[in-house]
Structure 1
Amino acid sequence: MLTLMALIARAFSSMSNEGPRPLVICGPSGSGKSTLLKKLFEEFPDTFGFSISHTTRNPRPGEQHGIHYHFVTRQEMHDSISNGEFIETACFSGNLYGTSIQAVRTVQSQGKVCVLDIEIQGVEQIRNSNLNPILIFNNPPSIEELERRLRGRNTETEESLQKRLDTARREIEYGRTPGNFHTIIHNDDIERAYRELKKFILQELEEQQRNGIALNLRQINSSEIN
């Protein structure tokens, strides 16, 4: 029987190496990742596409299946993992998460840069693949501010909140460690953080374009980012 890492390796080998590098953004829950990505997709809808992850957790208020996540049962998730359908998987707060091959291919088929919002475990898996991703860590202002944001959601029990905060501390330590990410976005002010994110991404995409990768950069103007 194939191990999980063997299945992931098989998934990687079945994916095309052509096209733009995937863009991976990682950071603790409540760090502002979703807001940054929402602004990026709204400003450049023809350049970036979001890879919709699978999860076994229940939807939060306002979340829709197939838009925010593919919400599946634990058995369905295990079956898909066993079939080698995922390029990365992670367990977070007792729930399974993963990025499927099909989710990435769907974005690539539209000629867009595939954006993945994944956990640290997934980052480690993709880092060691041949996908050559661009890795970005979204750093929150502080643990205290992160706690305030999470409490403001009113979606957590005290126990689950403390688990998220413990996980966040480990994620921040990992994210700030030199060499783990290509850049760190310090998200203490959303507008400044977005300008920083956009500038970094533009530079990366322009470098890829100079190396012969076809990209839709018509919407992006360098003068708008400085």
Structure 2
Amino acid sequence: AGPSGVGKGTLVAKLREKYPKAFGFSVSHTSRPPRTGEEHGVHYLFETKERILKAVKEGRFLEHAEVHGNVYGTSIEAVERVRCKGKVCIVEIDVQGVKQVKNSALASQAHYVFIRPPSLSVLET
């Protein structure tokens, strides 16, 4: 976990590259439309905002957030898909997401790594 722009994605990619049998990545849900080159189920699970929010209300999401009018989130099912393959599931989230995970059904099984920027000026660029 860490703020946007701190390098979470880079670290996750390196872990998956170096240890592909040990780590897996959950595919997040989003209500935004796919961008050029993005595939459903690979980059994101593209759903309607209403469908995601209904699943959140039903307690089926580990974490979620609304950003610029679109909903993003990680379903418990997406995490379980990775775990069923015998891999450690990496969830790339911000600090707000961590707070939600700590209150979720999987809280007792979660471990956290906070990525801190070397300085605040790094995030401003």
1:133 aligns with 2:100: no
Query: Contact 1:90 / 1:119 at 8 angstroms: preserved in 2?
Result: no
Query: Contact 2:3 / 2:95 at 8 angstroms: preserved in 1?
Result: no
The Cα of 1:52 is off from its aligned counterpart by 1.2
1:47 aligns with 2:22: yes
Q: In the alignment, which residue of structure 1 is the partner of 2:99?
A: 124
Normalising by structure 1, what TM-score? 0.48
Q: In the alignment, which residue of structure 1 is the partner of 2:4?
A: 29
Question: Aligned match of 2:71 in 86, 90, 96?
Answer: 96
Assess, with a 3 A threshold, how the Cα gap between structure 1 residues 143 and 63 changes in structure 2: closer, same or farther.
farther
1:70 aligns with 2:48: no
Query: Contact 2:40 / 2:46 at 8 angstroms: preserved in 1?
Result: yes
The Cα of 1:114 is off from its aligned counterpart by 1.0
Question: What is the distance in 1 between the residues matched to 2:117 and 2:68?
Answer: 19
Query: Contact 1:54 / 1:100 at 8 angstroms: preserved in 2?
Result: yes
Alignment of 1:101-116 (within 5 A): 101-116=76-91
Question: What is the distance in 1 between the residues matched to 2:56 and 2:123?
Answer: 32
In structure 2, give the amino acid aligned to 1:141.
Answer: P
Question: What is the distance in 1 between the residues matched to 2:124 and 2:38?
Answer: 21
The structure that is helix-richer by fraction is 1
Question: What is the distance in 1 between the residues matched to 2:113 and 2:49?
Answer: 29
Query: Contact 1:56 / 1:95 at 8 angstroms: preserved in 2?
Result: yes
The Cα of 1:62 is off from its aligned counterpart by 4.3
Higher Cα Rg, which structure? 1
Q: In the alignment, which residue of structure 2 is the partner of 1:176?
A: none
Identity %: 50
Q: In the alignment, which residue of structure 2 is the partner of 1:87?
A: 62
Alignment of 1:154-193 (within 5 A): none
Question: Aligned match of 1:142 in 107, 119, 122?
Answer: 119
CA RMSD of aligned residues (A): 2.1
Aligned residues: 123
Normalising by structure 2, what TM-score? 0.81
